């Protein structure tokens, strides 16, 4: 009887050892359903055919859509939102040659990650499609003077033909001191603009006089890190450097330009997937 008891005890001990061994090798993540946000598992899947420019700033200034490389003036690379990002500084910026697809935009969406202190020495330009003959660029995006985390002031200038239009949004919250995603779209079909912060719409409306497809003229370089007239030399013959304008001294990352106004759900998915490194 004792021998039988000991055999049962040994068998139970062996079974317990095998069970523990199996538990240690069990990987719960292998049973988890794949990540799916808005029907996508990666940012790369979103509006793929409409992506006309993408700068990851992962140790290079290459636009992975057109396969052209920009030129750095005083900028470096640092830890970005994803991998590496662009580090700005006073009197520093990047120039890049826009593709024909960017020059011919009629509707567009831009999304980017930015981490900057609020303006202290002048407006902070972060994305420009230069207009070589006018004061403001064909697209000019910047934070206005006196912006703060309780009153962020975002300005987007858009040129159509020879006319300049401004979309001005005040009282945007918590834009500075942390990584923030800024998304902006213009839809030629509805003439509507939308500003998104971290994937959520904070402003939607039209600009008086701006309707229909865009028509850029005197198209110059893309500028990252300041408005067009703060480069040396200025990107426009209309003006030179202004004392009330400054430079991005923070970081910029994951800049994308699309040739359509993305749906709000797509912009939200870009932000959510980027935050998960997807």
Percent of the chain with pLDDT over 70: 88
Q: Residue 32: is its pLDDT beyond 80?
A: no
pLDDT of residue 36: 86
- Are 59 and 32 in contact, with CB atoms under 8 Å apart? no
pLDDT of residue 4: 52
pLDDT bracket for residue 38 (50, 70, 90): confident
pLDDT bracket for residue 25 (50, 70, 90): low
153 half-sphere exposure, CB direction, 13 A CA radius: 11
CB proximity list for 200: less than 8 A, separation 6 or greater: 268
Q: Residue 28: is its pLDDT beyond 70?
A: no
How far is Cα 141 from Cα 138, in angstroms, rounded to an integer?
A: 10
pLDDT of residue 15: 46
| Tens digits of residue pLDDT in 161-203 | 999 999 999 999 999 999 999 999 999 999 999 999 999 999 9
Residue of 178, 214, 179, 231 whose CA lies nearest to 70: 231
Percent of the chain with pLDDT over 90: 85
Q: Residue 146: is its pLDDT beyond 60?
A: yes
How far is Cα 251 from Cα 248, in angstroms, rounded to an integer?
A: 7
Residue of 142, 151, 84 whose CA lies nearest to 116: 142
pLDDT of residue 56: 98
pLDDT of residue 23: 46
């Amino acid at each position: 009887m004792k021998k039988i008891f000991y055999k049962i005890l040994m068998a139970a001990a062996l079974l317990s050892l095998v069970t523990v061994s199996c538990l240690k090798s069990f990987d719960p993540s292998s049973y988890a359903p794949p990540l799916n946000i808005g029907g996508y598992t990666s940012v790369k899947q979103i509006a793929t055919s409409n992506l006309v420019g993408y700068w990851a700033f992962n140790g290079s200034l290459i636009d992975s859509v057109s396969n052209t490389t920009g030129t750095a003036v005083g900028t470096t690379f640092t830890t970005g939102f994803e991998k590496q990002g662009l580090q700005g500084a006073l009197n520093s910026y990047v120039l890049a040659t826009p593709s024909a697809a960017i020059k011919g935009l009629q509707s567009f969406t831009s999304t980017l990650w930015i981490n900057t202190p609020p303006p202290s020495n002048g407006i902070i330009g972060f994305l420009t499609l230069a207009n070589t003959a006018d004061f403001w660029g064909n697209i000019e995006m910047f934070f206005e003077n006196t912006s703060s985390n309780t009153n962020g002031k975002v300005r987007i200038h858009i040129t159509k033909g020879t006319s300049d239009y401004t979309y001005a949004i005040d009282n945007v919250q918590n834009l500075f001191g942390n990584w923030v995603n800024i998304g902006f779209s213009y839809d030629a079909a509805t003439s509507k603009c939308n500003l998104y912060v971290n994937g959520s719409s904070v402003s939607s409306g039209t600009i008086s006089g701006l309707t229909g497809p865009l028509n850029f003229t005197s198209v110059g370089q893309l500028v990252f890190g300041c408005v067009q007239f703060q480069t040396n030399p200025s990107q426009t013959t209309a003006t030179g450097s202004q004392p009330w304008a400054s430079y991005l001294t923070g970081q910029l990352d994951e800049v994308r330009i699309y040739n359509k106004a993305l749906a709000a759900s797509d912009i939200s998915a870009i932000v959510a997937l980027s935050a998960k490194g997807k």
